[in-house]
């Protein structure tokens, strides 16, 4: 897998999707020696099921562990520290990782109980958990979701789980963006597999999940987060820590150089009609005329609608169509390649949230 590449897959068999991405990325070659200590770092910020949009689906880790063990990698750990005031042990239990650990023999490490060491993160000293520093290879398993303070949380911010609670408090007093970027100069991001199945629209702790039905992998955490931002209808400039990380040479945020490799069609994902949307998603969906919509395309439209102001919503001039049911049909305003016959349509299969947002704003009345 190349450094500027993003591998995407759609579907509902999450474990198989994770396994297949590992195969396509040739993860064995990226890791190297079988005796290396490999860490899997999910986002288990709170003890809530992944279906609520806050935490990494345990099936993602299960698929990767199956792949790694089949290829002779047995020196594996899962490490995480829940947010301030929350129990990592409870999160491991509720999110299914305790059961996974028993089934696979992979050790769970609660970084809240870990010793730490200070590291110079390009001019800023940060205490980092020793279990993370000891890794030979780090697999970052973030959730692509919104955040009430940083707008987005994905690969770069997920590494807050490998610092002690005292540092988490300090990060908030410093405004999050600068310390998040600095932290990533000293911690590993060797391979990133993003859980984009049903991340929350706005909040790190979940509650407004939006089903997108996809996983995507990257090797560059900055490029990963820049692409995730675009999928959610944001500019890179909306998330300051991405630009700061790029300036620190952690990676590139230049999306014009990204190579997207899709393993299958977004039609492989569940359709929007098969999901149980949250209250916020339902309120946005009143603007949508949906017929057999693929989850990724539907999610891009929801992301875009969530970025429009109340005044802009009133200027849409009617419902926006999306779905395979509109193929070869005509209409006024449509999203995705299936609506190519409409008077005005946003191309893409699926288009990104930013593509849809810009399209909608160009067509406001």
Both structure tokens of 43: 């986002």
Work out the number of other CB atoms within 10 angstroms of the CB of residue 72. Answer: 10
Both structure tokens of 8: 């995407």
pLDDT of residue 277: 56
pLDDT of residue 273: 43
pLDDT of residue 279: 74
Backbone φ and ψ of 326, nearest 5°: -100, 5
pLDDT of residue 83: 87
Spatial neighbors of 300 by CB under 8 A, at least 6 apart, are 231, 233, 335, 348, 350, 351, 352, 353, 355, 356
CATH code 3.40.50.11440 for 5-264: yes
What is the edge-to-edge ordering of all strands in the sheet holding 259-262? 107-110, 76-80, 38-42, 137-141, 191-196, 214-218, 5-10, 259-262
Q: Reduced to 3 states, what is the DSSP secondary structure of residue 211? A: coil
**3-state secondary structure string across 94-136:** HCCHHHHHHHHCCEEEEHHHCCEEEEECCCCEEEEEHHHHCCC
Query: Between the CA atoms of 252, 255, 257 and 261, what dihedral angle is there, to the nearest 10 degrees?
Result: 110
pLDDT of residue 275: 46
Spatial neighbors of 188 by CB under 8 A, at least 6 apart, are 132, 135, 137, 138
Work out the number of other CB atoms within 10 angstroms of the CB of residue 254. Answer: 13
- pLDDT tens over the chain, length 365 residues: 999 999 999 999 999 999 999 999 999 999 999 999 999 999 999 999 999 999 999 999 999 999 999 999 999 999 999 988 899 999 999 999 999 999 999 999 999 999 999 999 999 999 999 999 999 999 999 999 998 889 999 999 999 999 999 999 999 889 899 999 999 999 999 999 999 999 998 888 888 899 999 999 999 999 999 999 999 999 999 999 999 999 999 999 999 999 999 999 887 655 544 445 567 888 888 999 999 888 889 999 999 999 999 899 989 888 999 999 999 999 999 999 999 999 999 999 999 999 999 999 999 98
Question: CA-based angle 61:65:67, to the nearest 5?
Answer: 120
The residue extents of the domains of the chain are 5-264, 272-362
**3-state secondary structure string across 266-299:** HHHCCEHHHCCCCHHHHHHHCCEEECCCEHHHHH
Q: How far is it, in rounded angstroms, from Cα 51 to Cα 200?
A: 9
């Amino acid at each position: 897998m190349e450094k500027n590449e993003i591998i995407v897959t759609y579907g509902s068999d999450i474990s198989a999707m994770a396994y297949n991405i590992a195969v396509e990325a040739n993860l064995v070659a990226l890791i190297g020696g079988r005796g290396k200590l490999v860490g899997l770092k999910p986002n288990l910020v709170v003890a809530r099921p992944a279906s609520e949009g806050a935490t990494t689906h345990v099936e993602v880790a299960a698929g990767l562990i199956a792949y790694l063990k089949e290829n002779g990698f047995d020196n594996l750990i899962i490490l995480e520290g829940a947010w301030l005031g929350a129990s990592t042990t409870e999160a491991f239990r509720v999110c299914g990782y305790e059961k996974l650990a028993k089934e696979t023999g992979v050790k769970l490490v609660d970084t809240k109980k870990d010793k730490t060491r200070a590291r110079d993160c390009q001019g800023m000293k940060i205490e980092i958990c020793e279990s993370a520093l000891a890794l030979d290879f780090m697999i970052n398993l973030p959730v692509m979701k919104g955040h009430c303070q940083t707008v987005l949380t994905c690969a770069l911010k997920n590494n807050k789980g490998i610092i002690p609670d005292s540092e988490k408090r300090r990060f908030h007093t410093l405004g999050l963006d600068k310390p998040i970027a600095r932290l990533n100069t000293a911690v590993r991001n060797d391979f990133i597999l993003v859980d984009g199945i049903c991340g929350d629209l706005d909040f790190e702790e979940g509650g407004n999940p939006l089903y997108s039905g996809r996983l995507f992998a990257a090797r560059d955490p900055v490029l990963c987060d820049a692409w995730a931002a675009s999928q959610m209808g944001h500019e890179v400039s909306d998330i300051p820590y991405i630009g700061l990380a790029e300036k620190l040479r952690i990676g590139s945020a230049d999306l014009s150089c990204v190579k997207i490799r899709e393993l299958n069609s977004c039609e492989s994902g569940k359709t929007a009609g098969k999901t149980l949307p949250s209250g916020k998603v339902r309120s946005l969906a009143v603007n949508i005329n949906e017929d057999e919509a693929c989850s990724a395309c539907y999610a891009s439209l929801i992301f875009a609608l969530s970025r429009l102001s109340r005044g802009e919503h009133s200027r849409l001039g009617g419902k926006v169509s999306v779905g395979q049911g509109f193929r070869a049909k005509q209409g006024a305003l449509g999203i995705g390649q299936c609506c190519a016959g409409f008077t005005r349509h946003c191309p893409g299969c699926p288009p990104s949230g930013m593509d849809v947002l810009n399209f909608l704003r160009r067509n406001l009345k």
